[in-house]
Amino acid sequence: MRKLAKYPTKLFTLMVLCFIGFSSLLLLISGIVYYETYSEIAYREIRTTKKELLDETSRKLSNYVAGIQDTAKFLVTNTMVQQYLSSAPDSEYDFVFKSRQLFEEFRKLATVKEGLFSIELYTDWLIGFPTFQDEFMHPMAEAQAQGWLGRMEKADGYWIESHEYPTSGSAVRMVSYVHRIIGNRGEILGVVKINIPDIKLLEILSKGTVDDRKEEYYVVMDSRGHYIASVLPPGMEAPKQAEDIAREVSGTKFSVIQSDSNSQYWMLQQLISKDVLKQSGKEIRLLIIGLLSALIIVSIPLALWLSRKLTSPIYGIVEGMRTVEKGDFNVRMKASNIQEYLYLTTHFNRMVDRLKALIGRLNQEHRNRREAEIHLLHAQIKPHFLYNTLDLIHWRALDYNAQEISQMVQQLSKLFRIGLSNDNWYVTVRDELAHARCYMAIQEYRQNFSIEYVDSVPSDLLDAFIPKIILQPFLENAVMHGFRNRDDKAVITVSLAHQEEAGDRQLIVTIEDNGSGLPEGFDVQKTGGIGIRNVMDRIHLYCGPKYGVIVVPREHGGTKVIVKLPLIRHEEEMELLTRSFAHEYDSFGG
């Protein structure tokens, strides 16, 4: 507690509250997103599973009603039924006999088919005879009175929705299938009506009874979407069409799923409590709440510790010093309303400003000294070649006529124009090759042996930039040292190519000759030749320490020089590289 009391109370408290608030908000949002995503997936999976089960149940129910329809079709196409109803009875005895035959035929099928309550026959065949088996056989006028006969004009057979059916005890709700009997001449002989208790029809949906499924509610529709039967929650009216049920359940605790529509099957709609669909999410919700609470509690001591660290003024000063040690003098400490911290930051910023100014002066002095060194290196290489060439002109003037001397002077003029015309560090590959050709042309006049010089450069590299006068010293060594004691033809080739190494674009210059090769124990890093040493120093100064020169013996005799340079295609890249290496030896960044 004593340590905590030393820290500024307002800032420390703010850090703690912000950290706890932010972490709590982040955890809460993550929990909500996870819960909503999980609930949505679970809800979708449950509905899909319920839908598959409902489709299976719909097919099961449709198979049953298809059997009922087949039974009706069997009766209406029965030869005995059509034969008896096609002609009026000859006598009362004949009527009673045939009526019993028809009753037995119908009763036999009613007892065989599961769930059938009764099979009735509506026909005018019985008119004119005494009432007999009135629970089985009825006149067509009764069918007309019940209101379903009119639909026979549009279909031979159809289902009648659940309706009250009077019995000896009490009324029972029935679902009926009716199919007309057509004679050989196309006349209507009667109508078969098969009655099924709707409760029996709904029990087919499961192994148990409807009472055992108190929380499961169904609506049965025919293939055209007409209502057949239903088990619905109290207070909900039976819909007439398939789309009506959505309006009925709107605003209630139920959700509707429907089996696939099919012209061959009945459709089922099931009402599922929304609580059932969301029940799987209760456990995950409790788990998320518990996890969030635990994480928030754990974050409190973490917030105290982290806030104490973040508000420590010494920590900020140390970080600033580390930045200065890396050479960045642009770092500034922000002012604070805490007196001690404000005093430290003010003096720290003042110290950095003074150091930056001092280092700036040192860097400028170093750059001036470096420029002088570069000019000195240029001065070393230029007179060296100039004196040798003037000496050559002198001896050639003694041996040949003035025209040849004129040609040599012309080549020398080109050589000076390229090499000494400006103070730029870089020239194009095109100019450097022209410089090399002039030099080799002069050497052909000077030497007493034949020289073949060949350069091979891709056209896309001719406008690239390289440090100037880097080919001539190696060409001079090849001519002067490679063929000093030989009189055979000298073949010297220069080739350029580009490559990429670890993301670094490089230009590779290769110089080969068929001369006498390297002396034993030769090391290019220890060579005393002013030309090669000058090239190596300039490459390091202009391009950096990772570029340089490699001199190795050639496989079939002679010497091979490999110069590795950065690939610079545009002046902007050249200027950027020049500026960056102008500060190569700066001790600190300014």
CATH of residue 217's domain is 3.30.450.20
3-state secondary structure of 154: coil
Q: How far, in Å, CA of 79 to CA of 183, rounded? A: 10
194 and 343 in a single domain? The answer is no
Q: How far, in Å, CA of 332 to CA of 350, rounded? A: 9
Average pLDDT over residues 58-73: 84
Please report, rounded to a whole number, the percentage of residues in the chain having pLDDT higher than 70.
Answer: 76
480 and 352 in a single domain? The answer is no
345 and 454 in a single domain? The answer is no
How many Å from the N-terminal Cα to the C-terminal Cα in the chain?
44
Q: Is the pLDDT of residue 252 over 90?
A: no
202 and 346 in a single domain? The answer is no
Residue 460 confidence (pLDDT): 92
In a domain, 420, yes or no: no
58 and 155 in a single domain? The answer is yes
Residue 464 confidence (pLDDT): 93
CB 269 within 8 A of CB 242: yes
Residue 565 confidence (pLDDT): 93
Residue 420 confidence (pLDDT): 57
Q: Is the pLDDT of residue 212 over 70?
A: no
From the number of C-beta atoms within 10 Å of its C-beta (0-12, 13-18, 19+), residue 416 rates as middle
E-assigned strand segments in 425-575: 426-428, 451-456, 465-467, 490-501, 504-513, 548-553, 559-566
* pLDDT category of residue 330 using cuts at 50, 70 and 90: confident
335 and 282 in a single domain? The answer is no
In a domain, 12, yes or no: yes
Range of the domain at 511: 450-586
Domain of residue 551, CATH code? 3.30.565.10
Last residue of a domain, one of 314, 344, 370: 314
In a domain, 66, yes or no: yes
Last residue of a domain, one of 284, 314, 344: 314
Q: How far, in Å, CA of 78 to CA of 189, rounded? A: 12
Residue 585 confidence (pLDDT): 46
* pLDDT category of residue 363 using cuts at 50, 70 and 90: confident
Residue 561 confidence (pLDDT): 93
In a domain, 176, yes or no: yes
Residue 222 confidence (pLDDT): 79
* pLDDT category of residue 117 using cuts at 50, 70 and 90: confident
In a domain, 518, yes or no: yes
346 and 256 in a single domain? The answer is no
Q: pLDDT (tens digit, 9 = 90+) per residue, 401-420?
A: 655 665 666 666 666 656 65
251 and 199 in a single domain? The answer is yes
Phi and psi for 121 in degrees, rounded to 5?
-125, 120
* pLDDT category of residue 314 using cuts at 50, 70 and 90: low
348 and 235 in a single domain? The answer is no
> By C-alpha distance, which of 214, 211, 270, 198 is closest to 47?
270
352 and 248 in a single domain? The answer is no
Q: Mean pLDDT over all residues of the chain?
A: 77
Q: pLDDT (tens digit, 9 = 90+) per residue, 500-544?
A: 888 889 999 999 998 888 888 788 777 767 778 888 888 888 888
Q: pLDDT (tens digit, 9 = 90+) per residue, 140-182?
A: 888 888 888 888 888 888 888 888 888 776 778 888 899 999 8
In a domain, 320, yes or no: no
Average pLDDT over residues 200-214: 61
Q: Is 190 left (phi over 0), alpha (psi -120 to 50) or beta?
A: left
> By C-alpha distance, which of 172, 241, 226, 239 is closest to 201?
172
Residue 496 confidence (pLDDT): 95
pTM (predicted TM-score): 0.45
Q: Is the pLDDT of residue 7 over 50?
A: no
Last residue of a domain, one of 291, 314, 337: 314
- Among the ranges given (25-39, 218-232, 531-545), the one the predictor scored with the smallest mean pLDDT: 25-39
278 and 338 in a single domain? The answer is no
In a domain, 440, yes or no: no
549 and 520 in a single domain? The answer is yes
In a domain, 306, yes or no: yes
Total domain count, the chain: 3
Average pLDDT over residues 45-70: 81
Maximal C-alpha separation, the chain:
164
